[in-house]
Chains A and B, each alone.
Chain A
Amino acid sequence: MSEETAAASKSFFSPFNVVAGIIVIIGLILTGLRFTGGLAAVTNLSDYNPWGIWIGFDLLVGVALAAGGFVTSAAVYLFGMKRYHSAVRPAILTAFLGYALVVLALHYDVGRPWRLPYPFIIQQGTTSVLFEVAACVALYLTVLFLEFSPAALEWLGINKLRNLITRLTLVLTIFGVILSTLHQSSLGALFLIAPSKLHPLWYSSYLPIFFFVTSVIAGLSMVIFESTLSHRYFADKMDEDHLKEKDQIALGFGKAASWVLAGYFAIKVVGISAGNHWHLLSTSYGLWFLVELIGFVALPCFFYAVGVRDKNLTVIRWTAVWTVLGIIINRFNICLVAFNYHLPADERYFPHWMEIGISIFLVTLGLIAFKFIATRMPIFYQHPDYEDTH
């Protein structure tokens, strides 16, 4: 074997590729089981618990963490914060892959996935919140595809189409913000239909607002988190602007996240007061609610602020990880822990290992796609033919 072939073979069998390859093989087997044996073959879902982690994690968490796309593009193109421009393409790519995987995950979760287009072409069901969510997610995925496409078109050298889509940037950004506002809040509104099933501490008529505000927090934190990982693993792909702006992005987004977290903490407390649920805080569910509210809202709010004041990027980056974890816990609490809280323990839902396996498989697909695109297309640098034309 020549030295070149040995080097290529070594780079192909990197730890990431080997682990991802194993997960993909297992994921494909589980996919086969899901689509040949049905939901009962691979899940613990039941009539009491029709929504498991494929909705709680893949959909609710996936959509929230993909909010970095609209948050970043709105900051740069609508609010004129050009100093964060280098964060736009990575954020749009993360959001596009996130939404694509949400739609893919839905194919696993719904009983008859081939009927997913029915709301648009057979029966509209316009009085359903789910119709609104479906319409917004479908439209926003299209918007994200268009927002992401200039990078792919630059890579492919298709200039005319790339220039045409680039001219639509402002319209696409406005459209993206409107659609995100609608469906991020509607995902919370889904739970308004089940006031008796969701624990009173988590149930609130303000749930749509809570979901939208937390999506902004998730988006800001996810951009910091993604930027930290990218600078670690793709630093060689980055141009000077990216390397120069990374600290500014962490400080600016950290400050915004701290402020939004403070607002979220405030409206959550108002939510307890409006429902007069103070007495529930001393119950076991109440203690878990306080862990979420103080540990994953108030604490990150404070640490972001300390990080911004001291210009301590390490604190800001770890706080971003902590906040992302908090968003996952929040969605799990609403969808799984506090949902059906009145059922006896043996009727409660706990995911089957194959459900967890499919979720890990989908996240891995996202990581592989991100790596494939980021190493080939101009995501972390400006294409030499299109410098300063964004």
Chain B
Amino acid sequence: MKGVFYTLQEFMTYTEGVTYILIVAILLGMLGFWNFLVERDED
């Protein structure tokens, strides 16, 4: 049962849900990476 989708709605709900969570994580990660990239700019 796990991982099997019977309808398009099930598939979209699952993939969109995972993708939205991922995007929030990526945006936070990008903020951290930007700080890592520029924090020594003033040296």
Contacts and interface: CB of A to CB of B under 8 A. Distances in A.
Interface of A: 255, 258-259, 262-263, 266, 269-270, 273-276, 279, 305, 308-310
B36 interface: yes
Given A275-B15, A305-B36, 10 more contacts: A255-B37, A266-B26, A273-B15, A273-B19, A273-B22, A279-B3, A305-B37, A308-B37, A309-B36, A309-B39
B23 A263 contact: no
Given A263-B30, A276-B11, A270 B19 contact: yes
20 contacts: A258-B37, A259-B37, A262-B30, A263-B30, A266-B26, A269-B22, A269-B26, A270-B19, A270-B26, A273-B15, A273-B19, A273-B22, A274-B19, A275-B15, A305-B36, A305-B37, A308-B37, A309-B37, A309-B40, A310-B40
B31 to A, nearest CB: 11
B34 interface: yes
A273 B15 CA distance: 6
A275 B3 CA distance: 13
Interface in B1-43: 3, 11, 14-15, 18-19, 22-23, 26, 29-30, 33-34, 36-40
Contacts of B33: 262, 305
Main secondary structure of the interface of B (DSSP, over half): helix
A359 B28 CA distance: 44
Contacts of B39: 309
A276 B14 contact: yes
A270 B22 contact: yes
A270 B36 contact: no
Contacts of A279: 3
Nearest to B15: A276
B28 to A, nearest CB: 11
A11 to B, nearest CB: 45
B40 to A, nearest CB: 5
Contacts of B29: 266
A270 B15 contact: no
A274 B22 CA distance: 10
Contacts of A262: 30, 33
Nearest to A265: B26
Contacts of B22: 269-270, 273
